[in-house]
Amino acid sequence: MRLAISLILSAFCLHQPAAFSKPNIVLVLTDDQGYGDASFNWPDTDLKTPAMDRVAANGIHFTQFRVNPLCAPTRSSIMTGTYSIYNGMWRGPGGPRTGEDGKIIKPPTRVVHDDVRMLPEFLKKAGYTTGLFGKWHLGYDEDNLPNTRGFDEFVGFPGGAHPYTWTKNSKIEHNGKPLKTDKHFTDLFADEAIRFIKEQKDQPFFCYLAFNAVHGPLRTEKRPSDSARPDWLERYKEAGVAQPRRDYNAVMSHADDRVGDVLDTLDKLGLTESTLFIYLSDNGGITHTYPSNNGPLRGGKGEGWEGGLRVPAVMQWPGTIPAGSVSKANGVHFDLFSTLLEISGTDIPDTNGKLKVDGISLFDHLKSGGKTTLPDRYLFWDLWGNQAAIHGPWKIVADTGNHNGNFDKAAASAQAADYMLVNLDNDLGETTDLKAKHPAIYSDLKERFISWLSKASEYN
């Protein structure tokens, strides 16, 4: 009798759903994709993103998910759970400069602090195999390359921008060694991510697919050369999209199409229900150089307006995140760090190095389909003087001048600055200054922002 019961219990345990084990994680990060350059997000766009639409339909999409308005600061916040002006990456990384010994010199500033651990380092300890395919942009020196910061495998480039096809000056690497390929790099990164997923299908994995799409170089009036693959250019030519928008759309849709291949791979391997899939942009679209589309939002990349901060963001985990969910919560980049730690079974630390972990886990919010509220919090941004602070629907925003990393100067400039106060619920385009009507809200946001900004001097 005991043997029969034991056999029944053993069979039951063997057939427990995948939710009882560590889920796989796929994080797709596009580069400079505007809020309006996602067809699920902005129906008036001429740029089609069926894979992003598919994730939104199968899971949840955020209407106001925000990041930093520049590549590297966003990536540093995702990877560390902390504000970029505190973790050292207050703008793009310094370097690379080569020393007499031939090694890349670690810069004194604009580098993530040595005592701050990155997400893949935590996930490796939790039993995950980790891979990065695409853009790194978090350091060039040997202490800050992907393989020394927790990634088991890296195929991509360490810098912030790269052409889309191989040239003699290409910086494409595989675990630190030069890699030559005839592939369009969008295909290279997607193919390598798919290979990694297939190889790791029997154990928990973290696959970080960081396209350089849709970052420049792209076609402009001054650069009459396309970066997109010819077949994608032809599709948008047939759709009547003129240059240079045609090249832009073709590059972005190509990347989205390859995300669809990653999703299909998970389906074929039976991994979809055991994988949290996240897909978002690293900052808003760049509108002064390239024909990005930020929809109804003001401004773009590099600015504190919503067009710089708010990005298309979708997540799916069938069976865990209800399909077709919408979140109107103020989610931010560093929340991904805490969310991924929680689902990996890792305790979220209070601190990372000397820094407070600023991110909160979105896991309960995701499971509720966006219905549970997030904690009431103030959120802050600074990118060389392009500044913003948000509390609920209220936001202050201003450009107080480039401080070049001198945060004492930045705090003094902020104290003297005249910020605009807007209510985003009623004024998504940030057109009407309300500080005269709501002086208490204005003063509260400004004082809290200056306090936050002043602390940056302690860490830089």
Q: Which DSSP letter does residue 15 get?
A: T
**Structure tokens belonging to residue 40:** 């699920």
d(CA 192, CA 184): 12
Residue 234 lies in a domain: yes
Domain count, the chain: 2
Bond from prior residue into 244 cis (ω within 30 degrees of 0):
yes
Residues 296 and 424 both lie in one domain: no
Range of the domain at 411: 381-458
- Considering the domain boundaries, does residue 7 fall inside one? no
Residues 350 and 427 in one domain: no
- The pTM assigned to this predicted structure is 0.94
Residues in contact with 242: Cβ distance below 8 Å, sequence separation at least 6, in sequence order = none
Give the pLDDT confidence of 322-361 residue by residue, as tens digits: 999 999 999 999 999 999 999 999 999 999 999 999 999 9
Phi-psi region of 110 (alpha: psi -120 to 50; beta: other; left: phi over 0): left
* SS3 state at 237: helix
* Cα–Cα separations (whole angstroms), residue 173 to 95, 162, 164, 419: 18, 12, 14, 44
Residue 15 lies in a domain: no
pLDDT in tens, 101-143: 888 888 889 999 999 999 999 999 999 999 999 999 999 999 9
Could you give the angle at the alpha carbon of 191 between the alpha carbons of 187 and 197, nearest 5°? 150
List the chain residues with pLDDT less than 50. Answer: 1-20
- Decide: 111 and 118 in contact? Cβ < 8 Å: no
Residue 299 in any domain: the answer is yes
Write down the pLDDT at residue 108.
Answer: 87
How far does Cα 189 stand from its chain's mean position?
Answer: 16
* Residues in contact with 292: Cβ distance below 8 Å, sequence separation at least 6, in sequence order: 32, 33, 34, 36, 37, 214, 248, 284, 285, 286, 300, 301
Q: Whole-angstrom Cα distance, residue 165 to residue 228?
A: 10
407 and 304 co-located in one domain: no
Structure tokens, 106: 């670690």
Residues 6+ apart with CB under 8 A from 126: 22, 204, 341, 344, 345, 346
3-state SS string for 239-302:
CCCCCCHHHHHHHHHHHHHHHHHHHHHHHHCCCHHHEEEEEEECCCCCCCCCCCCCCCCCCCCC
Q: What is the pLDDT of residue 176?
A: 94
Q: What is the spatial distance between Cα 458 and Cα 460, in angstroms, rounded to a whole number?
A: 6
Q: Which of 318, 343, 375 is the last residue of a domain?
A: 375
What pLDDT score was predicted for residue 1?
42
Q: Is residue 434 part of a domain?
A: yes
Q: Is 422 helix (H, G, I), strand (E, B) or coil?
A: strand
Q: Which residues pair with 352 in a beta bridge?
A: 355
pLDDT at residue 102 in the model: 80
Give the type of residue at 298.
R
* Distance in angstroms (rounded) separating the CA atoms of residues 154 and 147: 7
> From CA 61, how far away is CA 325, in angstroms rounded?
7
Q: Which of 375, 391, 424 is the last residue of a domain?
A: 375
> Is 140 found in the same domain as 188?
yes
Q: Do 165 and 312 share a domain, yes or no? A: yes
214: preceding bond cis by omega (within 30 degrees): yes
Asked if residue 346 and residue 413 are part of one domain, the reply reads: no
Instruction: Kindly state whether residues 360 and 393 are assigned to the same domain.
Output: no
How far apart are the two ends of the chain, measured CA to CA in Å?
A: 68
Are 203 and 264 part of one and the same domain?
yes
Q: Give the closest residue to 20 by CA, choosing from 339, 273, 363, 198.
A: 273
Instruction: Say whether 165 sits in a helix, a strand or coil.
Output: coil
Q: Mark whether 183 and 97 lie in a shared domain.
A: yes
Do the strands 394-399 and 420-423 form a parallel or antiparallel pair, or are they unpaired?
antiparallel
In a domain, 344, yes or no: yes
CA nearest 209: which of 223, 192, 226, 231?
Answer: 192
Is 53 in the same domain as 159?
yes
CATH of the domain at 445: 3.30.1120.10
Same domain, 367 and 396: no
Closest of 189, 213, 249 to residue 36, by C-alpha = 249
Residue 16 lies in a domain: no
CATH number at residue 338: 3.40.720.10
Among 375, 403, 432, give the residue marking a domain's end.
375
279 shares its domain with 399: no
Query: Which two structure tokens, joined as six digits, stand for 86?
Result: 């505190």
In a domain, 337, yes or no: yes
